[in-house]
Structure formats: C-alpha cells, structure tokens
Amino acid sequence: MSIKILTIDDSKTIRMIVAKAFKPFDCAILEGANGIEGLAVAIKEKPDLIILDITMPVMDGYETLTKLRHEAELKNIPVIMLTAEAGRDNVLRIAKLGVRGYIIKPFKEVELLEKVGKIVKLVPRAQPAGRVKSYLDPLDILVVDDKPVIIEQIQEALSQTPWKVQGVGDAKTALDRCTHQPPDALLISLSLPDGGGLRLFQSIAANPQTQSISMLGLSVKTATAEQEQAQKAGFAALVTKPIDPEGLHDKLVETLRLDTSYRYFQQVDDVLALNTPVNLTPTASDDILRLLEKKVAGFVDTGMVKVIINFSKTRDVDWKLVKIGLKAVALCKELGLRYCLVGSDEFGKACEDYPEAVSLPFVYNWNDAVRSLTRKVEEELA
C-alpha cells in the first residue's frame, strides 16, 4: 500500500518540488495550499506524513499544527516543518512544537528525501518490466579506494569488458557522485580512514535515491574481522586484495545478474549452439545451467530442432562439464530435439568416470556434428 504524504504550502512551486522528489517512490502525494485546505485533506485522507510550511496566508503553520494536535485521529501523524528562517530563535521555536524535523528553504531534493526516509519507509516505485542488463552494456563501475594503485589494478582487470571503470579516493566524493550519477556497481575499500568505507555503505543504503546501487567491499585477504563486519552490514559481495581479475569479473557478473547468454549460446544457420568456454569456472557453469532451459525453449518456439552441445574448447574436463552435458541432453530429449555433442578424447574419458554419462554420444568436430544432425532429420523425413 502506498504511503500518503501531505504537503501544506501556499507556494505551488514548493508543492511541485516535493511531488517531483517523491515521483520515483511508491507514494501518494496530497496537497493543501494553506492550513485550512491542509486540515481538510488530512481529516479525509489520514496521511502517513505531513510536510508543513510555517508562513502561509489564511492559517499559518503554527496554528495548523496546533489544530492537528487536537484532532484525535491526526495528533500522532509525524510532521516536518518548512521554514525560510534559519535563525536560532526560530529553530528553537520549531523544536518546541514537537515536530519530527525541519527543513530550511531553499532545499535540495536529497535533503528532503533523507529527512523523510528516516520517518517512513520509501519504497522505489515498481518499474515496468524491461530488458535485463547485459554483459555487453556499457556499465558504470565506481571504485572507492585511497590507494590509486588498487583503482588502477581494477581498471586493468576489467579492461577487456565494455564497462566504464572510474575511481575516487574518498567517501565524500563517492557519496556526491552516487547521489548525482548513481553507478551500476560500487566497490568500496573497507580500509578507508576512520571507518569511512562502512559509513559510506550505510549512507548509500539509507538514501532512497541510491539504495539500489550494488555495493561490493574491497578488503585485504587476511583482514577477516573487517570482512565479517562488512558481511553483517549487508555488502552484496566481498572482493579480496590482491585483486584476482577473474574472481572480480565473476563477482560483478553475479552481483549485477547480467545476461551473459551471448557468451555461450549462438544460432548458426538452423542450429542452436551451446559453446562452453575455454576455462569453465563455477560461475560460468552456473550461468549456463541457469540459462539453458530458457534458451532452448526459446529456440524451440522458433520451430528449430537441431542443437549442438560443443565442449571442444573447454580445457579442463571435469564434473561441471559432464553435468552440463547431462542436463542439455535430458532437455533435448524432453523437447524432442535432435542433438549432438562435440568433445575430445579427454571428454570421453571423463564420461567413463560417471556411470550416468558413459552413454553420452559425441563426435570430435563441428562439421561432423552438423552432418550427423542433418542426416538424422533427413532420415526422419524420408
């Protein structure tokens, strides 16, 4: 259920600014141009929060607040006051009214959201189903580390991706960057001075504008206490130093849930090809198994019937590879597809170690696989 936020202010501009600030969130924004209008709306709608201007015609903020506090159904509604006066006496007077906070005009959206977010839970508005982020997208990765060499190592580790990797040396600069231009992923050093890394994480997570950013912690491998603290705080993943390029790459792919299907599945003429990579990491294996059913089902939906499961490029043949073969074959049989495996002598020998895989049929090259499938289809049509 959407939370209701009532803005009572005689300035249409202020009401528009407030409405715009909350547009990305699941909120119903109510308005009143003065105290009398605002009270009427409050009585009817019972808002979850009221943003109340002090200086208004007809009925000012002080009188409006007094009347709110005398209504049994409204007296416990939290109120944030808006004021154009920053003087100490004015601030003390507002504080004595028992409100939950105050904001001095002019104000920035981020300040308003931060104040409100401490009182009510701001939930991002559900976005229409759209395209899943792809590995090929020019993703924005921000690294926060006070050691330039670490930033350079991460940039080098990800240099073969289409991603933009930038670095900053302190938490304050990072927070400002995330507020104005949120990255897709944020890598935060846990060894920033004075606990700056953890504080930055908490600030990002608490701000409704930035809380959807995926955050990974950077830590020296032996700093186990630091890593435990980060895990308890809620970091999406941890990357240890010295940087392992392959591990860093895989953790970002996993954390951002990137569509990596193009790396493994291609359609060649009338054949769907599943090509396992040279180095079949656990992450790559999991990706293939996760994508397999969806990709094959989509292929079937186009009317195609030929599948080649190509293991010929994979260097180390082990149980991960055999498991992919077994699942792919079972899926092809279930859907009535014609299939062929391409492997090596090493693959055949590996299959011998697994009783369920001994009978997997395979050939040694792509051309033989294509001829085999074509022959099967022709025989069925004859």
The CATH number of residue 199's host domain is 3.40.50.2300
- Give the closest residue to 343 by CA, choosing from 358, 363, 359: 363
**Rounded to 5°, angle at Cα 176 from 21 and 142:** 115
Q: Are 47 and 5 in contact (CB under 8 A)?
A: yes
pLDDT, tens digit, 9 for 90 and up, residues 108-141: 888 898 889 889 988 877 655 555 788 889 999 9
Average pLDDT, integer, range 88-106: 77
Mean pLDDT, range 25-51, rounded to an integer = 94
pLDDT digits (tens, 9 = 90+) for 278-306: 888 888 898 899 888 888 888 887 888 89
Who wins on pLDDT, 111 or 89?
Answer: 111
Helix, strand and coil content of the chain, in percent to the nearest 5, comes to 45, 20, 35
- Mean of all residue pLDDT scores within the chain: 88
CB 112 within 8 A of CB 102: no
Q: What is the mean pLDDT of residues 206-216?
A: 88
Domain end position, chosen among 255, 279, 307:
255
Q: What pLDDT is recorded for position 283?
A: 82
Of 239, 255, 271, which marks where a domain is finished? 255
- With 70 as the cut, is the pLDDT of residue 88 above it? no
Write out the two tokens for 96: 């004595």
Residues 250 and 355 in one domain: no
Mean pLDDT throughout 78-83? Answer: 91
- What is the C-alpha separation between 197 and 189, in angstroms, rounded? 6
Asked, for residue 125, whether it belongs to a domain, the answer is: no
**Number of other CB atoms surrounding residue 196 within 10 Å:** 19
pLDDT-derived band of residue 252, with 50, 70 and 90 as boundaries? very high
Instruction: Identify the domain boundary among 82, 117, 152.
Output: 117
Same domain, 69 and 156: no
Percent of the chain with pLDDT over 70: 96
For residues 281 and 244, is the Cβ–Cβ distance under 8 A?
no
pLDDT the model gives residue 114: 85
Find which of 34-43, 108-117, 347-356 is predicted with most confidence, using mean pLDDT: 34-43
180 domain residue, yes or no: yes
Give Dmax (Cα) for the chain.
Answer: 96
Q: Which residue would you say has higher pLDDT here, 114 or 177?
A: 177
| DSSP annotation of 120 | S
Q: Which of 8, 17, 13 is nearest to 57 (CA)?
A: 8
Based on the domain organization, do 377 and 265 belong to the same domain?
yes
User: Both 96 and 147 in a single domain?
Assistant: no
Task: Supply the pLDDT for residue 128.
Answer: 53
User: Residue 269 pLDDT more than 90?
Assistant: no
Task: Using the structure block, give the residue that is written with the tokens 């109340």.
Answer: 52
Q: Are 276 and 363 found together in one domain? A: yes
Does some domain include residue 246? yes
* Phi, psi for residue 17 in degrees, rounded to 5: -65, -45
Domain contains 127: no
- 274 & 228 share domain: no
What is the distance between the alpha carbons of residues 340 and 52, in angstroms, rounded to a whole number? 70
CB atoms within 10 A of CB 33: 17
The pLDDT score that the predictor gives to residue 87 is 63
Q: Does a structural domain hold residue 48?
A: yes
pLDDT at 1: 63
**Are 188 and 203 within one domain?**
yes
Q: In this structure, are 267 and 374 located in the same domain?
A: yes
Q: Is there a domain that residue 122 lies in? A: no
Please check whether residues 212 and 193 belong to one and the same domain. yes
Of 2, 143, 21, 139, give the one whose Cα is nearest residue 80: 21
Q: In terms of domains, do 243 and 149 share one?
A: yes
Provide the pLDDT confidence category of residue 336 given band limits of 50, 70 and 90.
Answer: confident
For residue 285, give its domain range: 261-381
pLDDT band at 90 (very low <50, low <70, confident <90, very high): low
What pTM was computed for the model? 0.59
- Considering 113-117, 166-170, 208-212, 360-364, the range whose residues carry the highest mean pLDDT is 166-170
| Residue 123 forms part of a structural domain | no
Q: Does residue 298 lie within any of the structural domains?
A: yes
| CATH at residue 346 | 3.30.750.24
| Top mean-pLDDT range of 102-111, 137-146, 291-300, 331-340 | 137-146
Asked if 181 and 251 sit in the same domain, the reply is yes
In this structure, the answer to whether residues 274 and 250 fall within a common structural domain is no
- The mean per-residue pLDDT over the stretch 171-198 comes to 94
Q: What is the mean pLDDT of residues 251-279?
A: 89
Total domains in the chain come to 3
Q: What are the DSSP calls for 221-251, one per residue?
A: TT-HHHHHHHHHHT-SEEEEESP-HHHHHHH
Assess whether pLDDT exceeds 80 at residue 259. yes
